[in-house]
Amino acid sequence: MDQVSKDFEELRLMQESLFHELSSLSKQIDDLMWYQKVGDIACVDKVTYIGPPPANPMAQPPQDRGNPLKIPAYTFVPVDADPAEKYPLLVFVHGGVHSNFSTGCANVIRELLMQGYVIIAPEYRGSTGYGQQFYRYIDYGGLENEDVWEGRNWMIENNPLVDPERVGIMGWSHGGMITLMNLFNHPEGYKVGYAGVPVSDLVARMGYKTEGYRQIFSASYHIGKTAYEDVNEYRRRSPAWNVEKLQTPLLIHTTTNDEDVNVLEVEHLVKSLKALGKDFEYKIYDNAPGGHQFNRIDTKLAKESRREIYSFLARYLHPPKPFE
């Protein structure tokens, strides 16, 4: 390696280190913001539970090899919850290839708390703000699904307020994908699910995304192969190719102008579910303002769409104070 290459590599490593340091700092600041955003109506906590070991044990430091991962998660309990009563649990799954649960979704969390839901929001492997090692444990469409499932189990086992017979799951984008895969893989564990603008077909996604995006998946610490090299692995991780497993009430939303998850992915999902005669509900909005974020912002349409979501969830989870 010549000197220029060495200097470039050193600069790249410094940039990567700085990115994770800033992500960690940003995460710590945002953690404090939760108390300002919902602290008046919720008891907010951050917990750590156990998820499966990494898909590639060699990714772990030698003395940690084979050990299960420690998964952070946020919990929210309405301040007026009666210890003598049981409450429905919602597993809230954040989105992003590499992202995290943040106060950017505080409006939704607040609306759910107002209805009387207990909430857990897992920071599954690959989430940002927890250092480079956790970032590189990413397993998109793989063990991240089990991280979320274990969060559900932890909440039921550790919070006596939770009614284990009233558990739902919801998420947008990548979180919508994990929602779908949890419903498919653990139908016994959920009464209902909502998937907003869900990533649905990784094979198609690799076709319309940039080379930089594709490299996140083919990275040696991740899947390690392109879709061209192992199309079946990408299918295995895609909801649209696993629809035969659906047994749970499901609502899906998307919009034709989604600039992140192209509507063709969700159309494939919907057509596949219909082809097998699955019972589910869906709505494809036409050029909804806000695109990928259309029903998470504060427009009139967004609020109306969320009302539809809450009404659907309440049908199966029966929160104590459903929105009329």
pLDDT one-digit tens code per residue, 236-277: 999 999 999 999 999 999 999 999 999 999 999 999 999 999
Confidence at residue 315, expressed as pLDDT on a 0 to 100 scale: 98
Q: Which of these ranges, 27-41, 52-66, 97-111, 239-253, has the smallest mean pLDDT? A: 52-66
**Which residue range(s) make up the domain with 280?**
3-201+238-317
The tally of domains found in the chain comes to 1
Q: Tell me if 196 is assigned to some domain.
A: yes
Q: Could you tell me the CATH number of the domain that includes residue 80?
A: 3.40.50.1820
Q: Is 97:216 a contact under the CB 8 Å cutoff?
A: yes
Q: Tell me if 44 is assigned to some domain.
A: yes
Q: Tell me if 227 is assigned to some domain.
A: no
How sure is the predictor about 97, in pLDDT bands with cuts at 50, 70 and 90?
A: confident
Q: Tell me if 166 is assigned to some domain.
A: yes
Q: Determine the 3-state secondary structure of 84 from DSSP.
A: coil
Q: Tell me if 24 is assigned to some domain.
A: yes
Q: Tell me if 313 is assigned to some domain.
A: yes
Q: Tell me if 253 is assigned to some domain.
A: yes
Residue 183 pLDDT > 70:
yes
Residue 1 pLDDT > 70:
no
pLDDT one-digit tens code per residue, 193-209: 999 999 999 999 999 99
- Alpha-carbon distance of 316 to 165, in angstroms, equals 10
Report the chain's C-alpha Rg in angstroms. Answer: 20
Residue 164 pLDDT > 70:
yes
Residue spans of alpha helices (H) in the chain: 3-38, 106-114, 131-136, 144-158, 174-185, 202-208, 211-218, 231-236, 263-275, 300-317
Q: Tell me if 323 is assigned to some domain.
A: no
Helix (H) or strand (E) holding 253: strand 250-255
Instruction: Specify the pTM.
Output: 0.95
Instruction: Report the first-to-last Cα separation within the chain, whole angstroms.
Output: 67
Percent above pLDDT 70 for the chain? 99
